[in-house]
Structure 1
Amino acid sequence: MKKKLIIMAILSSTTFGCQPETETANTEPVTAATASKEQQTVQVMQQMFQAFNRHDLEAMASLYADDAVFISPEMTEPKRGKAAVAEIYGPLFEMAPGVQDEVKHYIYNGKDEVAVEFVSKGTVENIGPNDPPQMKGKTFELKIFCRLKVKDGKIVEDVTYFDQLAFLQQLGLSE
């Protein structure tokens, strides 16, 4: 009987201890303060993706702190400040006017960060004079992971990772 109880305890901790995809993975006790911090952090993340899908650069920038830091593999060094929103996303919206992000999963860390797995889909409709012509008309579907750090209702750090080679291959720019 004791052995059965131990096995049941192990199974319940591994099966029922997992967090649903869009819930928190939090080891802190839930209090009104942590719930509101979680709600605020998740709400900022959701607003950012909604603004992205509307291609609303102004609304996106309003969600970032004045000294926000952006880190991503396509950048040679971090970008800083609200102005980086237009610098990063403006050319993407111009190149692929129908680009949309779909959040697949997110996890709140119990403090001030949310990790987000999402898919970005679009078609290259506009290319610049220095862009390879074979990009035009190419569709892409890119799996992306980002971590957003939120303080006082603003994103202070946006670290994003994606497979650059997969993106270039989808655009016909690499084998």
Structure 2
Amino acid sequence: MFSNFIKILFVISAYSPVLLIVGVVEILNLNKEGYSITFVDSWKEVFNRINFIFCFLIAFPFSILIIKWAENNLTKNKIDIKAIKSADFNLPTFILSYFLPCIELVKKDSTYLTVWCIILAVIVLINLKTYFYNPCLKIFGYRYYEISTKKDVTYTMISKNKLINANQISTYSQLTDYVIIKN
């Protein structure tokens, strides 16, 4: 299973597209208002909204790097699956729910943005021990499944393969308490 540090990086990578959206919207607004686009004018400005694009570029690759590392290095365990169903139908709702607040970010001052970042950090910490979806993995072709074991434990499984029946799964690696990856 991932260490807490890797879990934090993995969850942060799931929210990295939010940083991209905020940065792009800010660039479009500045351009529309006739201002020049600057990135870091001074150290006070390191966390301005435009610099969120750089934060995205740093955080986004962690999603695939961590999954690839997990596939090759985490302990492989045997599993007996009772039922499997696609959990990808949950993804659009999830994506909409965490991108929707970004609409308001462009109209707010730095205090609002600071509070929003603190709330996002709390959400990241809460997601360390729960089910969660990383939309970045969808870009790399991964799918999400809800599986039930014969011991009546339910997990979210991430797999590069399209899974139709329980016989396709024999081993897994555990990423978090309730998220596993098919080997």
Q: TM-score, normalised by structure 1?
A: 0.26
Structure scoring higher RCO (CA < 8 A, sep ≥ 6) equals 2
Q: TM-score, normalised by structure 2?
A: 0.25
If each structure's helix is expressed as a fraction of its own residues, which one has the higher value?
Answer: 2
If each structure's strand is expressed as a fraction of its own residues, which one has the higher value?
Answer: 1
